Copies of this chain bind each other. A is one copy, B any other.
Amino acid sequence: MDMSTATHTVFSKRATQLTSSAIREILKITERPEVTSFAGGLPSPEGFPVPELRAAFDKVLDNQWASALQYGRTEGYTPLREWVAAQMSREGMTVDTDEVLIVSGSQQALDMLGKLFIDPGSRVLVEAPSYLGALQSFSLFEPQFQAVPTDERGLVPEALTDDLTRDARFIYVLPNFQNPTGLTLDRPRRQALVERCADLGLPIIEDDPYGELRYAGDPQPSLLKLGRAVGASVIRLGTFSKVLAPGLRLGYVVAPREVISKLVQIKQATDLHTAMVTQMAVYEAVRNGFLETHLPKVRALYQRQCGYMLEALKAYFPTDARWTHPEGGMFIWVTLREGIDTTQLLQAAIARNVAFVPGAPFYAGVKAPTNTLRLSFVTVPEARIRAGVQVLGELIGPAR
């Protein structure tokens, strides 16, 4: 006979503050096949290199199974770390293998950076809006979020006043095709940002999951490269989720040695190390320049999809709505006229089998506007993009 479990269980303060997101609950129903969902952050499975990954797993389990199945080094599989270092060095800087740590997706890097930097009450600077998963991850360490103002060009470096940045532990930035806005920080702002952070001694966390998915405009230098040149401490996060496949859960951190060395100790306590078999298979898949032939196909796919969505927005959204025109990545950010509440709009849209993510949850440390929303365009077929955007346009109604 099972009895009910004890009622005296005391959770930590951080766990008590965790609440089930109302939006997450709503979005659960978007998994129904009849729903056209612009809500997800899923890469397109059309971009998954299945035969190459299958061959890579086979090769590793045929020839290197004893290492692939055994415990491994916390730092990660050395040849994969070397490959990441070489990739970073393409920008014309020298990145050493011991400045690279392999992690279980870059989400894990955010958790470990929270552990590394945040005490309860520590000030943490984030873009307004910023990646929701980062806000959730940092939240577990009970920081005080401070929103950094942004405009239609993204983060505003001049806003990093002494007052705003005082005692801040780091600034978290997504410079390319930002999640959620799709905006890219231009070269002058990047330069101003790293110079300001170097002056302040403020570490920059540069999260770049989409950088390789640029399909328009010119590539911009990384904050890592620009920051190194002026003495800023930059911690750069990358991932294989968008260039290969997210189900592998594989990412990396590039950072100064003293940061990597602390992160290695933290990662050992967190999960010992990332799965060896996936690290070795991914290394097999990418070692001979495979991404150079693979990525152009993924970029072309995403560009097409983005185009479908932009056309539909132009056709069906009211003239008083504004939206971003991303040069890469997966997201378009829409700002509707004042007075529209996109959380209510979502309820109405769900009733008509269309879903998106309202913008408010992407803000921390500032009052969130209620009239923004994020649209993901990569996994929905063209006709459904058109029909779904039309539904949203009808629900929003004509310009006033």
Residues of chain A whose beta carbon lies under 8 Å from any beta carbon of chain B: 1-15, 18, 20, 41-43, 45, 48, 50, 53-54, 57-58, 61-62, 65-72, 93-94, 104-105, 107-108, 111, 115-120, 122, 133, 136-137, 139-141, 169, 197-198, 200-203, 228-233, 241, 244-250, 256, 258-259, 261-262, 265-266, 268-278
Contacts and interface: CB of A to CB of B under 8 A. Distances in A.
Contacts of A45: 66, 69-70
A141 B250 CA distance: 25
A232 B69 contact: no
A249 B271 contact: yes
Given A3-B231, A275-B275, A12 B269 contact: no
A277 B58 contact: no
Contacts of A13: 119
B265 A18 contact: yes
25 contacts: A3-B228, A4-B231, A6-B231, A9-B201, A9-B233, A12-B118, A14-B115, A20-B261, A20-B265, A48-B66, A53-B65, A54-B65, A57-B58, A57-B61, A69-B246, A107-B270, A108-B270, A111-B271, A133-B268, A137-B269, A140-B269, A247-B277, A248-B275, A249-B274, A275-B278
B275 A201 contact: no
Contacts of A66: 45, 48
Contacts of A247: 67-72, 275-277
B1 A229 contact: yes
A71 B43 CA distance: 9
A104 B275 contact: yes
Nearest to A249: B275
Given A269-B136, A275-B104, A233 B6 contact: yes
Nearest to A245: B69
A67 B6 CA distance: 38
Contacts of A259: 9
Contacts of A228: 2-3, 5
A120 B274 CA distance: 28
A270 B61 CA distance: 29
Residue from the set A133, A248, A270 with the largest chain B CB neighbour count within 10 Å: A270
Number of copies: 2
Nearest to A73: B31
Contacts of A15: 115-117, 262, 266
Nearest to A261: B20
Contacts of A200: 8
A93 B2 contact: yes
Contacts of A118: 12
A50 to B, nearest CB: 5
Contact of A6 (B42, B169, B232): B232
A384 to B, nearest CB: 18
Contacts of A137: 269-270
A8 B201 contact: yes
Contacts of A20: 261, 265
A6 B48 contact: no
Contacts of A93: 2
B105 A8 contact: no
Contacts of A139: 269
Contacts of A119: 12-14
Contacts of A230: 3
A273 B10 CA distance: 25
A53 B71 contact: no
A381 to B, nearest CB: 15
